[in-house]
Amino acid sequence: MTKPFLSIRGIRKSYGSVTAVKNVSMDIAKGEFMTFLGPSGSGKSTTLYILAGFQDPTGGDILLKGQSLLSTPSHKRNIGMVFQRYTLFPHLTVGENVAFPLRIRRRPQAEIAERVKAALKLVRLEGFEDRKPALMSGGQQQRVALARALVYNPPVLLMDEPLSALDKKLREEIQFEIRRIHQETGVTILYVTHDQEEALRLSDRIAVFSQGEIDQIGTGPELYSNPATRFVAGFIGDSNFLDATVVAREGGKAQLSLGNGAMVEGVPLHGPSSANGKASLMLRPERLSLSRASVPSGIAVTVRDITFLGNNIEVSTATAAGVDLAVRLPFGHEAISSLARGEEVWLTFDTASAHAFV
Ligand SMILES: Nc1ncnc2c1ncn2[C@@H]1O[C@H](COP(=O)(O)OP(=O)(O)OP(=O)(O)O)[C@@H](O)[C@H]1O
Ligand SMILES: [Mg+2]
């Protein structure tokens, strides 16, 4: 087997009694777009800073093409970096900002001029060489930062929430540009965000961070359709959770009792066997269906609200025990016509699309 391009092996980082990163490992292929996705404080930036060499890990190793990077100082790692805040030198022009990494590498003037031009072309800012950063929009400034990070053709580019200071429209526009630049240059990108939509839009694979550890690594569709933990199920896509009791389990599937006599079979079950049999059943709103006739394995609920969302209609329902369950049905779905608040209906679902977590 060929060696992985970039390998993160059991990285840990503690600050006194605070453990920022517990045990992070992953292999990244050359040219891959890998995203670290997770809530605030889950260790995404710390892991990225360790890769960049701004922080030393408490334990573990990082290998680039099989060689440890840890003894190489940050400025010699040849890794490009773009941060959340604009970090351009305000007194330098755009051209001088982009030229900076080449100047400290003492490249000849003719090469610098040529590469700066090419980098600005790549981020679609040709002709902006003499502009000062203060006279540019936030999106333009982040493009300059991107050009500066890519100007010396680093094999790896790290980006820490580079779009979070931008408004939604600009963010989507630059997401598109980042995808294009990734495809054009083939650079390996490690990207940090806490926005699941951004992660799904950009990434080849996503590493879901929770409390300093990775819960799961996979493509967007893998994480959505086969979440390994309750946390991943709640973080990728929309989800409902319902308390359940495991009645029987066999080969990764469970028979669950949902209370009030409702019983379902063949639900994928994740996690160890627990003594009390308590589990949490995850149901995607778009995988639920609604029936007016009583269904043996259905969940009896009361309709609370009906909201038109364009392509979809969201029906908010609640069980007798007061658990809210959202159902999303395509516009025009026959079950919705004349559906009224306060009506009692049954929710049904394909058991293979549900997941239970112990
Ligand atoms: N220099 C530091 N000293 C002490 N604790 C730190 C330091 N840097 C980070 N931490 C702690 O380590 C944990 C992980 O922080 P990190 O910045 O990696 O999270 P993050 O996932 O990037 O979060 P965010 O989405 O808010 O940027 C947090 O609990 C944070 O408070
Ligand atoms: Mg961070």
Confidence of residue 336 (pLDDT cuts 50, 70, 90): confident
Report the predicted TM-score, pTM, of the whole model to 2 decimal places. Answer: 0.91
Q: What is the pLDDT of residue 215?
A: 96
Q: What is the pLDDT of residue 2?
A: 66
Say if ligand 1 is within 6 A of residue 45 CB: yes
- How far apart are the CA of 75 and the centre of ligand 2, in A? 21
Sheet with 288-291: strands ordered across: 288-291, 344-349, 299-308, 312-319, 324-330
Per-residue pLDDT at 179 exceeds 90: yes
Residue nearest to atom 24 of ligand 1 (CA): 40
Mean of the pLDDT values across residues 218-231? 95
Phi and psi, residue 356, nearest 5°: -115, 140
Say if ligand 1 is within 6 A of residue 148 CB: no
Helix 138-150 vs helix 168-185: angle between axes, to the nearest 10 degrees?
20
Tokens 């995850």 sit on residue = 282
- How far apart are the CA of 357 and the centre of ligand 1, in A? 28
Better-predicted residue by pLDDT, 203 or 265: 203
Residue nearest to atom 2 of ligand 1 (CA): 15
Per-residue pLDDT at 335 exceeds 80: no
Sheet with 205-210: strands ordered across: 79-82, 156-160, 188-193, 33-37, 205-210, 213-218
Say if ligand 1 is within 6 A of residue 193 CB: no
Ligand 1 pocket test, candidate residues 46, 159, 160, most atoms within 8 A of CB: 46
Give the pair of three-digit tokens for residue 98.
């982009």
Distance CA 203, CA 4 (A): 18
Per-residue pLDDT at 126 exceeds 80: yes
Distance, CA of 328 to chain centre? 23
Asked if 244 and 281 touch (Cβ cutoff 8 Å), the reply is yes
pLDDT digits (tens, 9 = 90+) for 191-206: 999 999 999 999 999 9
Mean of the pLDDT values across residues 227-249? 93
Distance CA 31, CA 23 (A): 24
Q: Which of 174, 336, 348, 152 minimizes the C-alpha distance to 264?
A: 348
Say if ligand 1 is within 6 A of residue 43 CB: yes
Looking at the CA of residue 13, tell me the nearest atom of ligand 1.
12
Mean of the pLDDT values across residues 281-294? 92
Give the pair of three-digit tokens for residue 173.
């526009």
Per-residue pLDDT at 263 exceeds 90: no
- How far apart are the CA of 44 and the centre of ligand 2, in A? 6
Say if ligand 1 is within 6 A of residue 240 CB: no
Mean pLDDT of the chain: 92
Say if ligand 1 is within 6 A of residue 44 CB: yes
Q: What is the pLDDT of residue 132?
A: 95
Q: What is the pLDDT of residue 284?
A: 95
Looking at the CA of residue 38, tell me the nearest atom of ligand 1.
21
Give the pair of three-digit tokens for residue 241.
């959770």
Asked if 348 and 289 touch (Cβ cutoff 8 Å), the reply is yes
Give the pair of three-digit tokens for residue 268.
């994928």
Confidence of residue 108 (pLDDT cuts 50, 70, 90): very high
Lowest-confidence segment of 74-88, 307-321, 330-344 by average pLDDT: 330-344
Distance CA 14, CA 162 (A): 25
- How far apart are the CA of 255 and the centre of ligand 1, in A? 41
Amino acid at 319: T
Distance CA 142, CA 182 (A): 15
Give the pair of three-digit tokens for residue 20.
């920022």
Looking at the CA of residue 84, tell me the nearest atom of ligand 1.
27
Helices of type H across the chain: 44-52, 94-104, 109-122, 138-150, 168-185, 196-202, 220-225, 230-235
Mean of the pLDDT values across residues 251-263? 85
Q: What is the pLDDT of residue 235?
A: 93
- How far apart are the CA of 60 and the centre of ligand 2, in A? 20
Distance CA 179, CA 190 (A): 13
Q: What is the pLDDT of residue 89?
A: 94
Amino acid at 282: M
- How far apart are the CA of 282 and the centre of ligand 1, in A? 30
Mean of the pLDDT values across residues 176-192? 95
Per-residue pLDDT at 273 exceeds 90: no
Q: Please name which ligand lies nearest the alpha carbon of 41.
A: 1
Mean of the pLDDT values across residues 146-150? 94
Per-residue pLDDT at 1 exceeds 60: no
Mean of the pLDDT values across residues 75-99? 91
Q: What is the pLDDT of residue 75?
A: 86
List the shell of residues around ion ligand 2, using CB closer than 5 Å. Answer: 45
Looking at the CA of residue 46, tell me the nearest atom of ligand 1.
18
Q: What is the pLDDT of residue 81?
A: 92
For the beta carbon of residue 37, count every other beta carbon within 10 angstroms.
26
Mean of the pLDDT values across residues 242-254? 91
Distance CA 71, CA 225 (A): 40
Confidence of residue 295 (pLDDT cuts 50, 70, 90): confident
Q: What is the pLDDT of residue 169?
A: 87
